[in-house]
Amino acid sequence: MDPLLATTPKEMKFPVSLDWSIGNQTCEQAGNTSICGGNSTCSDSTTRSGYICTCNQGFDGNPYILDGCQDINECTTSNSDHKHNCSDPKTCRNRDGGFDCKCRSGYRLDTTTMSCKRKEFGWAMILLVTTIVFLVILLGVSFIQHRLRRRKDTELRQKFFEKNGGGMLIQRLSGAGPSNADVKIFTEEGMKEATNGYDESRILGQGGQGTVYKGILPDNSVVAIKKARLGDRSQVEQFINEVLVLSQINHRNVVKLLGCCLETEVPLLVYEFINSGTLFDHLHGSLFDSSLTWEHRLRIAVEVAGTLAYLHSSASIPIIHRDVKTANILLDDNLTAKVADFGASRLIPMDQEQLTTMVQGTLGYLDPEYYNTGLLNEKSDVYSFGVVLMELLSGQKALCFERLETSKHLVSYFLSSMKENKLHEIIDGQVMNEYNQREIQEAARIALECTRLMGEERPRMKDVAAELEALRAKTTKHKWSDQFPKEVEHLLGVQILSAQGDTSSTGYDSIKNVAILDIEAGR
């Protein structure tokens, strides 16, 4: 036996290191032709040409086949080189290429010891949580208060609606009849929006009946909104009375009531907007030039007289206005008269000619007989209209303390001037001229008849309107004949011949008849 073999063990182990590479190309040159499988990385050989493949971190296997590199489950492997380092194995969660240590709610991971520790809430977290809780409570309280406030507001509006006679009003307005079909019940919110929260810049005027605002409805239509004075129950009653009265009236020379709002503490009335002020403004105010001609004034007198005659004689229920004055007569762009403010008006039952009421009206226009007896009838309006007619003729106020003691009241001033044959001294200079003196004297006579002390001696409003209409027709005829004398002469000749050939027209007063028909129809 060979001595060498005799001293050599049967099995000997030597360390072996293998080094290889794929091809002669680099990874960049090989590109998509690289044979490296999934979850592996190509790297250039450092000892020779070519490249080698290695599994990615967290994967193990043969990187040279398609799915040779498989994920290592660090949470279950026994290989210490790949085992997880979570302090509690229960917190280990495997993922592709690695693992995570997941702590339960309320704990955080300490990366130094890889153990879970209870979270410590700092002051910032405490403040944040406190703020969130406070806001939630605040929102909840605000929501509850809002709901309670809305409920309270709804109950309050309903209370005001009932207190302001809403139930009775709806019942009355729901009755049949074309005159009240368009009266609308407005809401409180709608009125606030229309007046911009009752802004002072929207105030059109203030007086004994309350404050009037300019309102703009959602359809951009302009209206006048009248609001009673707060705390004055009598004004509330007058407002409701005005709605009930106006719901019975359908006349072109009465300001149109569009609706009302009863949800507020004091009711609101909504009217059509008349933008040229009142007759008082035009006669005595500083906003308008007193440029009303005799024709304008006579036409206004005819319109107001016709309206009052309609209220007394042709309305479904006779109505006494009870506060006729120039401040309650509105004028539109065409200077057409619109009688307004029916808060003091009264409906007269068909079986009564007068009512006993508490005296109400405006000094200077107030019927002295009504003032002394408290008995209200249509002749009280006749007296007030007579004063308005005197104002139209003279341009002076119904009551003026700057005049002489015996002439402070316009009626006394007028009467004394007529007796002394000095009517021309008190007639407005813009009214009288050389052509209309007789018409003015006739109008003055009508005014004096209307203002007689005893109501039974005064004419009915229907007769006053007819006389003024006839006077207006005569005035128009004279004015036209002055401008076109030949045409008038020719027409008069034709009319005379026609009258001679038609005996049936004898005694027929066409002017007066037309006036009466107009009044009865309510025009």
CATH number at residue 242: 3.30.200.20
Integer Cα distance of 75 and 92 in angstroms: 6
Residue 3: partners with Cβ closer than 8 Å, 6 or more residues away: none
Q: What is the pLDDT of residue 357?
A: 66
Q: What is the pLDDT of residue 19?
A: 84
Q: Which residues pair with 99 in a beta bridge?
A: 94
Give me the catalytic one of 60, 281, 323, 367.
323
Integer Cα distance of 464 and 309 in angstroms: 8
* Boundary residue ending a domain (273, 301, 335): 273
Instruction: Check whether residue 267 and residue 384 sit in a common domain.
Output: no
Examine the residue annotation and report whether 323 is marked as an active-site residue of this protein: yes
CA dihedral (247, 251, 254, 256) in degrees, to 10, reads: 50
Instruction: Check whether residue 260 and residue 281 sit in a common domain.
Output: no
Q: What is the DSSP letter of 314?
A: I
Is residue 456 situated within a structural domain? yes
Structure tokens at 505: 């027209």
Instruction: Give the global pTM.
Output: 0.61
Instruction: Check whether residue 211 and residue 319 sit in a common domain.
Output: no
Instruction: Check whether residue 193 and residue 338 sit in a common domain.
Output: no
Q: What is the 3-state secondary structure (H, E, C) of 71-127?
A: ECCCCCCCCCCCCCCCCCHHHEEEECCEEEECCCCCEEEECCCCEEEECCCCHHHHH
**Per residue in 22-53, is it b (16+ CB within 10 Å) or e — as a string?**
beebbbeebeeebebbebbebebbeeeebbbb
Q: What is the pLDDT of residue 208?
A: 63
Instruction: Check whether residue 269 and residue 413 sit in a common domain.
Output: no
Instruction: Check whether residue 294 and residue 241 sit in a common domain.
Output: no
Residue 485: partners with Cβ closer than 8 Å, 6 or more residues away: none
Q: What is the pLDDT of residue 520?
A: 39
Instruction: Check whether residue 429 and residue 334 sit in a common domain.
Output: yes
Distance of CA 153 to CAs 156, 159, 194, 197, Å?
5, 10, 20, 17
Is residue 421 situated within a structural domain? yes
CATH number at residue 371: 1.10.510.10
Is residue 363 situated within a structural domain? yes
Instruction: Check whether residue 261 and residue 398 sit in a common domain.
Output: no
Q: 267 by DSSP, 3-state: which?
A: coil
**Per residue in 63-100, is it b (16+ CB within 10 Å) or e — as a string?**
beeeebbebbebbeeeeeebbbebeeeebbebeeeebe
Q: What is the pLDDT of residue 500?
A: 40
Integer Cα distance of 116 and 125 in angstroms: 20
Q: 452 by DSSP, 3-state: which?
A: coil
Q: What is the domain extent for residue 28?
A: 22-71
Geometric angle at alpha carbon 220, from 219 and 225, rounded to 5° = 100
* Boundary residue ending a domain (37, 71, 105): 71
Is residue 29 situated within a structural domain? yes
Instruction: Check whether residue 239 and residue 282 sit in a common domain.
Output: no
Is residue 146 situated within a structural domain? no
Which parts of 247-327 are beta strand (E)? 257-261, 268-272, 319-320
Is residue 354 situated within a structural domain? yes
Instruction: Check whether residue 263 and residue 364 sit in a common domain.
Output: no
Exposed (0-12), middle (13-18) or buried (19+): which is 364, by Cβ within 10 Å?
middle
Each residue's pLDDT, cut to its tens digit, for the chain (523 residues) gives 555 555 555 677 888 888 888 888 999 898 888 899 889 999 999 888 899 999 999 899 999 988 889 999 989 888 887 888 888 888 898 988 888 888 887 788 877 777 788 776 667 778 888 899 999 999 999 988 888 887 877 766 666 666 665 665 666 556 544 444 467 888 888 999 999 999 999 988 876 667 889 999 999 999 999 887 765 566 666 666 677 777 778 789 999 888 888 777 777 889 899 888 889 989 987 666 667 889 999 999 999 999 999 998 877 778 888 899 999 999 998 999 999 887 777 766 544 556 666 777 888 999 999 888 888 889 999 999 999 999 999 989 988 877 776 678 999 999 998 888 888 888 988 888 878 888 999 999 999 999 999 999 999 999 999 999 999 988 776 554 555 455 545 444 444 344 344 433 333 232 233 333 333 334 3
Instruction: Check whether residue 297 and residue 268 sit in a common domain.
Output: no
Exposed (0-12), middle (13-18) or buried (19+): which is 249, by Cβ within 10 Å?
buried
Integer Cα distance of 82 and 490 in angstroms: 132
Structure tokens at 192: 């606030």
Is residue 249 situated within a structural domain? yes
Number of domains in the chain: 3
Integer Cα distance of 108 and 113 in angstroms: 12
Instruction: Check whether residue 46 and residue 172 sit in a common domain.
Output: no
* Boundary residue ending a domain (12, 39, 71): 71
Is residue 6 situated within a structural domain? no
Distance of CA 205 to CAs 193, 202, 210, 308, Å?
19, 9, 9, 25
